[in-house]
Amino acid sequence: MPILNKYLLKEITLNVLLVMLALMAMFSFFDLIQELDTLGKGHYGLTQILLFVALSVPGHIYDVMPVAVLVGCLFSLSQLARHSELLVLRVSGLSVFNLAMLLLKIGLLFTLLTFLVGELITPVSEKMAQRLRIQATQSVIAQEFRSGLWVKDGHHFINVEEVLADTTLLNVHIYEFDSQAKLIHMRNAKTAEFAQDYWQLKDVSETHFGPDSNRVTRLATAKWYSLIRPELLNVLLVMPEKMSAWNLYAYIDHLSSNKQKTTRYQVALWAKLIYPLACLVMVILALPFALVPQRTTGAGAGAKIVLGIMLGVVYQILNRVFAHLGLLNDWSPLFSAMLPTVLFFLAGLTMLQLAERR
């Protein structure tokens, strides 16, 4: 059994890496073509474009890892079946259950790898890539509204017209309300930079609204203490699906404390925790195809690879569809995030039972 473990691990890992290499080459080529449209904008030259494409690779690896595992397993098992190695293993007493357990051990390695890439590498590389692009093209982070970014912090409402890639805030407007929702203080600043545990405001204008009169004060600098941190602004640089689970949790906690809707980010958080398990589901899904005799289906390794890619694409589409359906219909975030994975797992088990009966 240890020899078989090593053999399967070697064959499947090699094929998964080859599939991953092919997919990364394809996605990187598409990224390069897309970025060439902005070549020459600001300081965005060919060197910056190539670096942006390279920094985008970890995000693509995270996205296509289950697909690569599925296709790699399909090809490996098809080769075993083609050379009658799988038949010899079955005749030697290896049950389908034991074979599935061996494959699940290999799938677990890719599950851990997917989690580590998605949690430790992708958030950092995506943020670096977006900052590189924004700084080189001399643009700002995309805003949620025409008037800029709006954030609620307790009794304060903050409007930021522009956010630079280094999280410097431009044209900041801070509105403070009392418990009766009456405006009592307004502060405007040209820039805000984070320093240790507070924001350093520059070129500040403060307006105090009193019961009888208003008072305006102008300051060169001022300190602004807020629960808003640069880490929370990462949501502007990185899509929620590419953020780390910890940053998602911190942002959800911030929104919850300010009584704001968190469904989208809760779905992203649960998907972040469940998505790596898709690698385990994919190895189960690949096994039934190897158990079907080649002479019965006439399907070769090439056809099974195409089928694997199609199944992987369907899985990715279902992930996004159910995430949006969950937001529209206000489903449970956990239900929206796990439903595609559960459906594919049940489909794999059903196909495995049918293949074993045949």
Residues 119-142 have pLDDT tens digits of 999 999 998 898 888 778 766 554
Sign of the torsion angle spanned by Cα atoms 279, 98, 306, 311: negative
The predicted pLDDT at position 130 comes to 83
In the beta sheet, which residues pair with residue 215?
Answer: 208
| Whole-number Å distance between alpha carbons of 131 and 234 | 10
| Whole-number Å distance between alpha carbons of 192 and 198 | 10
The predicted pLDDT at position 342 comes to 94
Model confidence at 296, in pLDDT bands (50, 70, 90)? very low
The predicted pLDDT at position 156 comes to 86
The predicted pLDDT at position 91 comes to 78
145 pLDDT more than 60: no
Across the chain, what does the average pLDDT equal? Answer: 85
Token pair of 42 as six digits:
């600001």
Mean pLDDT of 168-187: 89
Q: What ranges do the domains of the chain cover?
A: 2-137+265-357, 155-226
Residue 267, classed as helix, strand or coil, is: helix
Model confidence at 346, in pLDDT bands (50, 70, 90)? very high
Contact 77, 286 (CB under 8 A): yes
The predicted pLDDT at position 300 comes to 59
E strand residue ranges, 129-266:
149-153, 156-163, 169-177, 183-195, 198-209, 214-224
The predicted pLDDT at position 51 comes to 95
Contact 300, 294 (CB under 8 A): yes
pLDDT tens, residue by residue, 244-273? 888 888 888 888 887 778 888 899 999 999
Model confidence at 1, in pLDDT bands (50, 70, 90)? low
The predicted pLDDT at position 66 comes to 93
| Whole-number Å distance between alpha carbons of 115 and 256 | 26
| Whole-number Å distance between alpha carbons of 108 and 5 | 13
Place of tokens 């083609």: 82
93 pLDDT more than 80: no
Contact 190, 208 (CB under 8 A): no
Mean pLDDT of 85-95: 78
DSSP code of residue 187:
E
